[in-house]
Amino acid sequence: MIIKEVDSKKRDLDILTQLLRRPDLSDANRCQIRERLNRLYSGIKGEAESAFQLNFYFGQSHDWIILHDLRLVDRRQVAQIDHLLINRCLQIFVCESKRVAGSMIINEFGEFSHLYQGQIKGMPSPLQQNKRHITILKNILKTQINLPKRMGIKLQPSIYSLILVANEANIQRPKNRLTDLSCIIKNEQIKTAIASYTNKFNLLPLMKKISAATLQDFGEQLCNLHRPAPLRDWYKYFGIYSPDNNGNVINDIVHNDNTHNNHQLPQPDSVAVEACSGCNKPLSLAEIQYCQKYKQKFTTKAYCYQCQRKMKTS
């Protein structure tokens, strides 16, 4: 079951594409914008390839839930999780997508680099990146999620890290491994890799198996904590100013083009979105989105997560 889809990147793509058409750009600006645009397209394609495989094998199953592009905030720490796959035994797979053209090289010290067209460049470790995501997720599960219970005791999820690499990439692993790199796989290996974890079930994980409805509730709690990234002012980011050189940032597309506002996250129909219709509590954007998605159930009103649960059980 798919709980959350990937957030649209269309607004950023549109603005960067229009920026490239400006005749007054410097060569340096043009190169920077083109590089950023290519990185954005590559990231979108990489996430889409991974999402396709996850949706194909697990998207229709009531034993699994999937959340794509989940941005969680814990105090000042942010986890931008590409894909979250969870089953009824509360096994959580935190998936980081990496689209690499050419080769991903990992040396015996666990350092990553990228070989493309004869050039080798260092790259951040996706293993360390996912470790940070998992640390934040664990804290959120402890402090912000109502975990399922069995005989009054909260069930504790098991969390695994997976690094999903594009199928056409070449992964060069060290011969003398100082660390386990089996979590780095290609997208086409997702089903086999997940099966290797689920087939290791012993009595304990089976004892904490939850219902499909409880699993969906667990996923909806996480979805309600999603905090979309702030909209970036690309004109200001690249320091593009008006021809009068008075330091006025040109951001006509960012602020004045209503066509781009249509690509922002949707709001509920005919409802004040600031407060819950049940308890008057301020609403998160994820709570608003969920009520809009199921607006017939909530009679086009918006409710906080606690009031949503009350309505389900009433």
Alpha-carbon separation of residue 102 from 36, 43, 120, 165, 177 (angstroms): 19, 15, 10, 11, 22
List, in order, residues 6 or more apart from 225 with CB less than 8 Å away. Answer: 72, 73, 140, 144, 145, 284, 286
Look at residue 180 in the predicted model and tell me its pLDDT.
79
| DSSP H or E run through 309 | helix 305-313
Quick check: 249 pLDDT over 60? no
d(CA 151, CA 202): 20
Look at residue 128 in the predicted model and tell me its pLDDT.
93
Residues of the chain above pLDDT 90, percent = 42
Instruction: Note the helical H segments in 103-240.
Output: 126-143, 190-198, 203-207, 212-224, 234-237
Quick check: 45 pLDDT over 70? yes
Least confident of 12-16, 26-30, 99-103: 99-103
Look at residue 204 in the predicted model and tell me its pLDDT.
54
Quick check: 270 pLDDT over 80? no
Residue 296 or 256, more confident: 296
Look at residue 198 in the predicted model and tell me its pLDDT.
83
Least confident of 21-25, 86-90, 253-257: 253-257
* Among 82, 71, 65, CA closest to 157: 65
Amino acid identity at 282: P
Residue 178 or 7, more confident: 7
Quick check: 264 pLDDT over 90? no
Residue 120 or 101, more confident: 120
Average pLDDT over residues 7-35: 88
pLDDT band at 211 (very low <50, low <70, confident <90, very high): very high
Least confident of 56-60, 99-103, 264-268, 283-287: 264-268
Quick check: 267 pLDDT over 50? no
Quick check: 311 pLDDT over 70? yes
Average pLDDT over residues 134-151: 93
- Per the CB < 8 A criterion, the answer to whether 234 and 15 are in contact is yes
Q: What is the mean pLDDT of the chain?
A: 82
What is the residue extent of each domain of the chain?
2-211+233-265, 266-314
